[in-house]
Structure 1
Amino acid sequence: MIWSFWLLEFSIYLPMAFFTFIGNYFNQLGFSDLQNGILGSTAAIIILLSNPFWMRVSDKRVKNAVLTFISFVTAFSIWLIYIFRNFWAIFLISLLVGFLWTSIIPIAESMASYNASKFGFSFGKARMMGSLGYAIVMLIFGYVTDHFLFFLIGSLSFAFIGVSSLLVPKTQGYNMNQKVSFSFKNLPPQFYRMLVFEILILSSNAFGLYFMPVFMRARGYPISFAGISIAVQALAEIPFFFFADRIIKKLGVKKMLVIGSIMFGIRWILTFLITNPVAIVAIQSFEFFNWVAIYYAVFYYVNSKISPFNRSDAHALFWMTTSGLSMIFGDVFGGWISNTLGVANGYLFFGLFSLGIGLIYAILEKSPDLSN
């Protein structure tokens, strides 16, 4: 039984690699960095609507069935992006596709975290399989030059999720057969402050990953280094997830958030300063305590501090910030910075930005339930 959740976590991050690397495809179509950033942010824009919608739908049904439906429909839908070459046509299609695929990870991980508590296995260890799957596909994409093959791998990745979701035990929504209304008052204020922090810090991750192929191309390095770089950061997450439960209990939520943001700042500043491509690849291993630490800290808070009655809404808000608002800021604003100042200067900006936000949060956040 546990192996099925490991397989599910492995599968749901395969398409993430596709949408991380699709900026390289748009760049080869001749779109500007700003246009590229706008297209990269479409999923982040639509997730503000799709996530609450699909989380509500899955909350009142068997989640496996909802996840299977979304996965197979998306597997066919992404080919529309391949067919069209016009910027505005791709923009509209990307919004449509994003309405579907952006809720796959939230639904799947709500299933995995619920069953981890129910059956007594470590969610962190299951989640590390997602990093492994993401890393494998990113390595492959670094060497894929044919556009048709690129989209074929992406389509098969979504289909694989649909199959994997049928293998895990049936998981019912938190509020089946109940009428539930969302209220901002039901969630603690420190949770909202945490989400604001997350939006700002994870925007640097959105920029750093999405524009990595553009950055490598601008410096004259082989594009394969971009795939290797992102694969390295995904593999660096695996040791963290193996010890995630111990780390969060030792440090607490606040310390994890602050350390993660400072490490982000150092990572992007070094990416800007260093000119050796092999060294740049090595620096991406800082991810062992970057996005992964911030993601897990907030995810842990939702599943341990917020009641099951309100947990679905908290999950929706969590993913709206993690994969929504942070990506809009990182991709669109980052694309503007890249267009105006150069892509390398974008890494310097977000490095300094992450350091500043981390220090401000360390000083101002006083909530006791964020400590270990």
Structure 2
Amino acid sequence: MAFKLYNFIFYITMAAFGYFNIYFQDAGLDSFQIGLVNAIPRFFALLLMPFWGFLTDYFHENKKVLFITLLGTLTTVLLFPQTGSFKFLMLLMFFYTLFQNPIVPLSDSLLLDYLGDDSNHYGKFRLWGSAGYMLSVSFLGYFLESTSSANLFYVYAVVLILSIFLLKFLPKSKREIEVLNPGDFKKIFRKKRLLYFLFFVFILQTAMNANYSYFPLYIIDHGGGEFLVGIALTISSASEILAFFFSDRIIKNNKFSKIIAVISIGFMIRWLLLSLFPSNPIILLSQLLHSITFGLFFAVGVDYVDQISGEKFRATGQNIYAGVFMGVSAISGSLIGGKIYQLAGGESMYFFWSLISAAAGIIYSIYLLKKERELEQNADQ
């Protein structure tokens, strides 16, 4: 139950993060500057992200490293409301990303250690995070619209303090202490299955992270406000709860190639709806596809990477996965999405992502089908 409560509380911070760009806009930044603030600091912070996984796997001190990242994020968040300067916001985003990005993979690694061979049940625990997000995001949007967007950072800080308190109740890793040779970590980068999957993740998550950055602005540009943003995000988080709940059955009963094909189609349809029908009802309806494009996608990815990485490199594998899922792709999504949004508008940006998602899905699905047939042929011989 400790993991479920921790996820429920911590993922409220993700609701707060969804309003960062509204604060940046209120501070006077244009869409391209917002893209730069989201992208450039992340690039430099991302270079250090594997360090957190290496440190955890090398010394087996997951909870201590997780405490450091939570405390560092708390310190940084409290500094945001003190400035509206573009340069200082860039600096703060570097330290924010440096400490915040490892929190999810380190938490997931600790949970996967606890689950052991039952890693496919990850979604049953992660859905509590979606519930916390869902129950808070609309209220937070209403609160910020009624007061000031700067208040999101104080809400964020309170949630982080609660998360740090709950951290001490999480069970420690079941793994026996075995200090690894630093050279052993090279092995994980030689796994082609992992590299191909991460490249596919990078393409689709570039589109998703652009959506995270500019979706609130897209709603505001079409006459909505923070409260409507909150309603949209509530719908998306409610839909992902179902995906997390059933993810273990989906993983167990379907081939990986079939799941990937469904996810790719989900991405394509979601972006097409936003591009071609930018009305509030359709915008809200499109959020239901978040169940596939985030919930199912993330849960399947965590399990797939865990299988490839193995027990020894679990934290490292999850940090690399998160680095691509939320790091590298966030940089490209913010920069590319920001430029398209600035030059051609949100409709063009979403149409571009629909084409990219379709192409990536077709190519990677063909590759997976080929590999699965090869394995079946080898098994029959």
Q: Is the 8 A contact 1:174 1:312 kept in 2?
A: no
1:112-131 equivalences under 5 Å are 112-117=111-116, 122-131=121-130
Give me the whole-angstrom Cα distance separating, in 2, the residues matched to 1:369 and 1:55.
Answer: 34
Give me the whole-angstrom Cα distance separating, in 1, the residues matched to 2:373 and 2:38.
Answer: 35
The 1:283–1:77 alpha-carbon spacing in structure 2 relative to 1, beyond 3 Å, is same
Letter in 2 for 1:367: K
Give me the whole-angstrom Cα distance separating, in 1, the residues matched to 2:122 and 2:102.
Answer: 19
Q: 1:79-106 CA deviation, whole Å, 9 max, x = no partner?
A: 2222111101110121012111111111
Q: With structure 1 as the length reference, what TM-score do the two structures score? A: 0.92
Q: Is the 8 A contact 1:47 1:320 kept in 2?
A: no
Task: Please identify runs of 4+ aligned residues in structure 1 that moved more than 4 A.
Answer: 118-121, 172-176, 184-187, 369-372
Letter in 2 for 1:226: V
Tell me, what secondary structure is at the counterpart of 1:290?
A: helix
Give me the whole-angstrom Cα distance separating, in 2, the residues matched to 1:187 and 1:303.
Answer: 15
Give me the whole-angstrom Cα distance separating, in 1, the residues matched to 2:214 and 2:131.
Answer: 21
Asked if 1:86 corresponds to 2:90, the answer is: no
Give me the whole-angstrom Cα distance separating, in 2, the residues matched to 1:205 and 1:369.
Answer: 31
Letter in 1 for 2:111: A
Q: Is the 8 A contact 2:39 2:331 kept in 1?
A: yes
Q: Which residue of 2 aligns with 1:152?
A: 154
Q: 1:289-340 CA deviation, whole Å, 9 max, x = no partner?
A: 1122222222111222432223333222211110111111111110011011
1:1-372 equivalences under 5 Å are 3-42=1-40, 44-59=42-57, 60-117=59-116, 122-143=121-142, 144-145=144-145, 146-171=148-173, 176-181=178-183, 182-184=185-187, 187-365=190-368, 366-368=370-372
Sequence identity percentage: 24
The 1:233–1:207 alpha-carbon spacing in structure 2 relative to 1, beyond 3 Å, is same
Tell me, what secondary structure is at the counterpart of 2:261?
A: helix
Q: Which residue of 1 aligns with 2:379?
A: none
Q: Is the 8 A contact 1:44 1:323 kept in 2?
A: no
Q: CA deviation at 1:252?
A: 2.5
The 1:326–1:345 alpha-carbon spacing in structure 2 relative to 1, beyond 3 Å, is same
Q: 1:44-84 CA deviation, whole Å, 9 max, x = no partner?
A: 42452332111222221432222123212321221222211
Give me the whole-angstrom Cα distance separating, in 2, the residues matched to 1:41 and 1:15.
Answer: 20
Aligned-residue Cα RMSD (Å) equals 2.4
Give me the whole-angstrom Cα distance separating, in 2, the residues matched to 1:139 and 1:121.
Answer: 30
Give me the whole-angstrom Cα distance separating, in 2, the residues matched to 1:121 and 1:167.
Answer: 23
Q: CA deviation at 1:173?
A: 6.9
Unaligned runs of 5+ in 2: 377-381
The 1:195–1:186 alpha-carbon spacing in structure 2 relative to 1, beyond 3 Å, is closer
Q: 1:220-269 CA deviation, whole Å, 9 max, x = no partner?
A: 22332112112211110111111111101222322222211211110111
Tell me, what secondary structure is at the counterpart of 1:95?
A: helix
Letter in 2 for 1:76: T
Give me the whole-angstrom Cα distance separating, in 1, the residues matched to 2:328 and 2:119.
Answer: 33
How many residues in Structure 1 have an aligned counterpart in Structure 2? 370
Letter in 2 for 1:32: D
Q: CA deviation at 1:32?
A: 1.1
The 1:53–1:305 alpha-carbon spacing in structure 2 relative to 1, beyond 3 Å, is closer
Give me the whole-angstrom Cα distance separating, in 1, the residues matched to 2:46 and 2:113.
Answer: 23
Q: Is the 8 A contact 2:120 2:251 kept in 1?
A: no
Unaligned runs of 5+ in 1: none
| Bigger mean CA offset, 334-343 vs 268-277 | 268-277
